[in-house]
Structure 1
Amino acid sequence: MKHISVVGYGSVGQKLAKLFNDAGRNVTVCSKDASRGAEHYPTATFIEGIQSADAIVLAIPYGAIQTLIESLADELNGKTIIDCCNPLNEDWSPLLLGQETSAAEQIAALAPQAKVVKAFNTIFADVMAREHHDRKGHTITAFISGDDKTSKHGVMSLASDCGFSALDAGPLKSARYLEAMAHLNIEIAVAQGGGTNAAFVYHQA
Structure 2
Amino acid sequence: MKPKIGIIGKGNVGHALLRGCERAGYEAKAVGHYLKGVQETSAWGEVIILAVPFAALDETLREMGENVNGKPLVDVTNVVTADFQLALGCTTSGAEELQKKVPSAKVIKAFNTVFAEHMYLGKVKDEPITLFAAGDDGEAKAAVLQLGREIGFDAVDAGPLQNARWLETLGYFHIQLGYALKMGSDVEFKLIR
TM-score normalised by L of structure 2 = 0.93
Matched-pair contact (CA < 8 Å) for 1:127–1:198? no
1:120-158 alpha-carbon deviations (Å, 9 max, x no partner): 00000122242x71546x420000010000000010000
SS in 2 for 1:121: coil
Partner of 1:78: 70
Shift of 1:33: 4.8
Partner of 1:145: 134
Are 1:113 and 2:104 an aligned pair? yes
Partner of 1:18: 19
Flag as ranges the 4+ runs of structure 1 deviating above 6 A: none
Matched-pair contact (CA < 8 Å) for 1:70–1:110? no
Matched-pair contact (CA < 8 Å) for 2:86–2:169? no
Matched-pair contact (CA < 8 Å) for 2:8–2:42? no
Q: How many positions carry a matched residue from both structures? A: 192
Are 1:201 and 2:193 an aligned pair? no
The more displaced of 22-31 and 171-180 is 22-31
Partner of 2:43: 51
Partner of 2:58: 66
Are 1:160 and 2:149 an aligned pair? yes
Partner of 1:40: none
Q: Which segments of 5 or more consecutive residues in structure 1 lack a partner in the other structure?
A: 35-43
Match of 2:166 among 161, 177, 183: 177
Label 1:134 to 1:71 Cα distance change in 2 as closer, same or farther (>3 A): closer
SS in 1 for 2:187: coil
Partner of 1:101: 92
Taking every aligned residue pair, what percent have the same amino acid on both sides?
33
Matched-pair contact (CA < 8 Å) for 2:11–2:32? no
* Structure number with bigger Rg: 1
Q: Distance in 2 between matches of 1:61 and 1:24?
A: 27
Are 1:127 and 2:111 an aligned pair? no
Matched-pair contact (CA < 8 Å) for 2:124–2:188? no
Structure 1 counterpart of 2:52, which letter?
A: I
